[in-house]
């Protein structure tokens, strides 16, 4: 992320009140439940659907794919916009499952901050660590929410130690838990000197706040049993000696994370976390682009596509491009230049999302995320501007880790299969490679669960049963270099060559030895495991 310098021009109030952030975590840490409660407090929904509830109550608002509803996991990042106090929150819920991490990596290019959710009993898990590293690469400010404190949890200082050690970031307590598991009463709000008490009877009720004057206030003893009060004072005293105080600049630089404790399912600690995002979270930030960075206060509208979702509405074969506005004040009906094709596009039906519900967006500002329905013109990495030839950079595409052949159950429907695969390739849901020799396609994904999701979506959305078969190849590398060298290489290695959906050559490998051989025999060529989706 590019730093807004201290003497940067003031942002227009409409832009300054926006907070665009993602929620990241290991699967099952409670991320989707937390998202639900954010929507509840933002007044965007009347009742939160619990992921573990039965039947209709289980249909959480941010999961719209049939498979997500059936399994209770999020496999596709979804965006939601809602107001909270005087702020406009643009929240992006991301898949926690590692098989869908590529979607999450790309989503993190479209936000200015992240909320990291960890489970109080499990602490920092592997997927959390991976996602945190992506945030670190982008210097994203991170707020941490330690969830499930109403269950048996680890010692508070242990959890903080583990975050500091595994993620190499300073931690400062924004709140401190009072008791754990069955004894969990609530938290002491360190930033505002308040006592927050949890109501176990009503899960959707906002916690009761009691204003107190520091830890010596006699009022504390009226609400907290003596042994827990003792523990609280002891714990906070140690924390104040061992941990740094909250410093907004260190937080914005990505070197310090404030941590809140709570229980999302009981709606506890959520409002304090939202207040923290509103008060301390970053305003919309400048975006890296070539030939120059884009600043949010610029008058002319610019935005970029970080995600494409096909068939969000199964009744209409639509494709929605998720666009993060990087600058300006967008109005419905505007004509924007599609930089890759140099063609003007009239944006007549832009939408704002509330999970699977959407409404027409009459206007939007830098920092907002809008959806543009289209028929395949827009791809991940595309930039839209009011005429300027500028391209947003840094949106990654990763080499797949698993490759399989695919064929239609009905050989007569091979053409339909090609159309479905191309749509998923443009959406970024899978890599689709057309071998230079022979027929058929090879599909590449990051995690095995993606094959299941693809098969189920192709059948549901296109009425086309498909089979995935084992492939002799184990990895793929994009090949770039001087034209003559490239042609020579392609002709000599035809049986390993495929083309991706952009028509770029890809070298499919069976062993690491294949890669070593090419690097040795063709020093002018570059084999790459990532391809920047800047087109």
Per the annotation, where are the binding residues for GTP? Answer: 25-32, 93-97, 147-150
| Measured distance CA(114)–CA(125) in Å, rounded | 17
Q: Which residues of 87-117 are buried (b: 16+ CB within 10 A; e: fewer)?
A: bbbbbbbbbbbbbbbbbbbbbbbbbbbbbbb
Q: How many CA atoms lie within 13 A of 209 on its CB side?
A: 13
Angle, CA of 510, 104 and 476, to the nearest 5°: 15
Minimal CA–CA distance to 116: which of 100, 132, 99, 104?
132
3-state SS assignment for residue 224: coil
Calculate the dihedral angle through the C-alpha atoms of 218, 221, 222, 226, rounding to the nearest 10 degrees.
-160
Answer whether 214's CB lies under 8 Å from 202's CB: no
The 8-class DSSP code of residue 294 comes to B
- Burial class of 342 by CB neighbour count within 10 A (0 to 12, 13 to 18, 19+): exposed
The 8-class DSSP code of residue 236 comes to H
- Burial class of 61 by CB neighbour count within 10 A (0 to 12, 13 to 18, 19+): buried
Query: Token digits for 337?
Result: 């230049």
| Measured distance CA(176)–CA(221) in Å, rounded | 16
Q: Known binding site: residues?
A: 25-32, 93-97, 147-150
Query: Token digits for 70?
Result: 């059936």
CA distances to 184, 209, 269, 350, 433 from 187, in Å: 8, 10, 8, 42, 53
Calculate the dihedral angle through the C-alpha atoms of 215, 220, 221, 222, rounding to the nearest 10 degrees.
170
Phi, psi (5° rounding) for residue 334?
-60, 150
């Amino acid at each position: 992320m590019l730093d807004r310098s201290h003497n940067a021009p003031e942002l227009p109030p409409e832009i300054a009140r926006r907070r665009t952030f993602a929620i990241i975590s290991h699967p099952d840490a409670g991320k989707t439940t937390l998202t639900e409660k954010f929507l509840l407090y933002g007044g965007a929904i009347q009742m939160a659907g619990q992921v573990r509830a039965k039947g209709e109550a289980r249909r959480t608002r941010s999961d719209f794919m049939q498979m997500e509803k059936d399994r209770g996991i999020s496999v596709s990042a979804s965006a939601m916009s809602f107001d909270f106090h005087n702020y406009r929150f643009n929240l992006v819920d991301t898949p926690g499952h590692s098989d869908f991490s590529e979607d999450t990596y790309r989503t993190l290019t479209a936000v200015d901050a992240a909320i990291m959710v960890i489970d109080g009993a499990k602490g920092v898990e592997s997927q959390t660590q991976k996602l945190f590293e992506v945030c670190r690469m982008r210097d994203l400010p991170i707020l941490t929410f330690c969830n499930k404190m109403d269950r048996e949890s680890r010692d508070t200082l242990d959890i903080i130690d583990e975050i500091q050690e595994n993620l190499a970031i300073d931690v400062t307590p924004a709140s401190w838990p009072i008791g754990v598991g069955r004894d969990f009463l609530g938290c002491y709000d360190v930033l505002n000197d308040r006592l927050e008490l949890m109501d176990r009877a009503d899960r959707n009720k906002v916690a009761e706040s009691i204003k107190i004057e520091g830890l010596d206030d006699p009022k504390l003893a009226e609400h907290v049993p003596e042994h827990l009060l003792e523990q609280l004072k002891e714990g906070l005293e140690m924390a104040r000696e061992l941990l740094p105080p909250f410093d907004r600049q260190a937080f914005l630089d990505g070197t310090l994370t404030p941590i809140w404790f709570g229980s999302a399912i009981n709606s506890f600690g959520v409002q304090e976390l939202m207040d923290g995002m509103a008060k301390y979270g970053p305003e919309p930030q400048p975006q890296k682009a070539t030939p120059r960075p884009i600043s949010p206060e610029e008058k002319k509208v610019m935005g970029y596509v970080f995600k494409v979702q096909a068939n969000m509405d199964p009744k209409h074969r639509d494709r929605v491009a998720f666009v993060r506005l990087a600058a300006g004040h967008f109005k419905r009906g505007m004509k924007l230049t599609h930089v890759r094709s140099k063609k003007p596009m009239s944006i007549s039906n832009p939408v704002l999302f509330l999970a699977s519900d959407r409404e027409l967006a009459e206007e939007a500002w830098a920092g907002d995320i809008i959806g543009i329905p289209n028929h395949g013109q827009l791809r991940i990495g595309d930039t839209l501007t009011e005429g300027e030839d500028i391209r947003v950079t840094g949106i990654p595409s990763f080499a797949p880790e698993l490759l399989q052949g695919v064929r239609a159950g009905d050989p007569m429907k091979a053409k339909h299969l090609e159309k479905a695969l191309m749509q998923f390739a443009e959406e970024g849901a899978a890599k689709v490679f057309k071998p230079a020799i022979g027929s058929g396609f090879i599909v590449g994904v990051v995690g095995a669960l993606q094959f299941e999701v693809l098969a189920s979506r192709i059948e549901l959305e296109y009425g086309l049963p498909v089979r995935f078969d084992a492939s002799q190849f184990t990895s793929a590398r994009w090949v770039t270099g001087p034209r003559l060298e490239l042609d020579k290489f392609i002709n000599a290695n035809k049986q390993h060559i495929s083309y991706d959906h952009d028509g770029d050559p890809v070298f499919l490998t069976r062993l690491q030895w294949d890669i070593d051989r090419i690097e040795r025999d063709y020093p002018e060529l570059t084999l790459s495991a990532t391809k920047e989706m800047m087109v």
